[in-house]
């Protein structure tokens, strides 16, 4: 009976670790999608005659749909738009450990051009 309990405890600990490590990986994928959506929205805005301020607003709106926050929007002279977003992985167990905070605060960037938009 003790062997079964030890086995279950080990399995639960391993599942917890997989959960804690897996959430940031899933968040990275989601943040990449949010960055691409935001870059496309900003590129469409720039292509339509908008300026940097309206492009930032369009990017922020598109990123917010996926739960991300825009941290930077750059428009090149040729019209390419690069957007950087951040998104926090929603895991309650490890966020209080300062050494791992960067692992759970995910950043992603994407570039879109008016031709792609």
pLDDT tens-digit map of 27-41:
888 899 999 999 999
Number of residues assigned to the chain: 117
**How is the chain split into domains, by residue range?**
2-112
* Per-residue pLDDT at 17: 76
- Confidence tier at 116 by pLDDT (50, 70, 90): low
Of 22-36, 58-72, 87-101, highest mean pLDDT: 58-72
């Amino acid at each position: 009976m003790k062997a079964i309990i030890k086995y279950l405890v080990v399995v639960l600990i391993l599942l917890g670790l997989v959960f804690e490590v897996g959430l940031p990986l899933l968040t990275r994928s989601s943040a990449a999608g949010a960055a691409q959506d935001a870059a496309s929205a900003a590129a469409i805005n720039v292509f339509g005659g908008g300026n940097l301020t309206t492009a930032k607003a369009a990017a922020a709106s598109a990123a917010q749909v996926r739960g991300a926050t825009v941290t930077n929007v750059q428009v090149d002279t040729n019209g390419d738009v690069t957007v950087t977003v951040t998104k926090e992985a929603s895991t309650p167990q490890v966020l209080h450990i300062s050494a791992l905070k960067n692992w759970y605060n995910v950043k992603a960037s994407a570039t879109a051009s008016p031709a792609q938009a």
